[in-house]
Structure 1
């Protein structure tokens, strides 16, 4: 189904074939997960992560933020080893942004 944006979210979980379409800026205090063929359409709206803790972005497919802000005390972690998370317009970082990378054995 299609979810039209509210303003404040804990965790966002969009499952296979689900869709989140932003009609306003949103704030996320938890994790942002998309599985299967889920889609996220930011239009020209911002997503602000303000959980003041580790917050994961786990997207199985490519998607884009329009404006992305990470607040002080927040560590935003892109947990998928593929490059699925992009910012199209403006990135504002007051916290920390990390990318998880796979580790392979040299054996």
Structure 2
């Protein structure tokens, strides 16, 4: 357990340090390249966070009522949600999350 936690922290720190260095050198090389890459990174960070929040809202809505769960999941999936069961609503949300986070 401890080794896995240390490895996870080291990986996060390495990715963070690498990102900071790349952004710094891009800003030094060309200000606009730095700005563009920063915007792309912010976009992907916000998109992932927003999707995770939407999936949480699906689960909260499904806990309240099946109709609310169907309505909420229809915001993030492209299929007809009117006939989904409670389990299918939750599965659809998780499948969407998995598909989009892996892209």
Is TM-score (shorter-chain normalized) higher than 0.5? no
TM-score category by the smaller chain? under 0.3
Higher relative contact order (CA 8 A, sep 6+): 1
Q: TM-score, length-normalised on structure 2? A: 0.17
Q: Give the TM-score of the pair, scaled to structure 1.
A: 0.17
User: As a proportion of its length, which structure holds more helix?
Assistant: 2
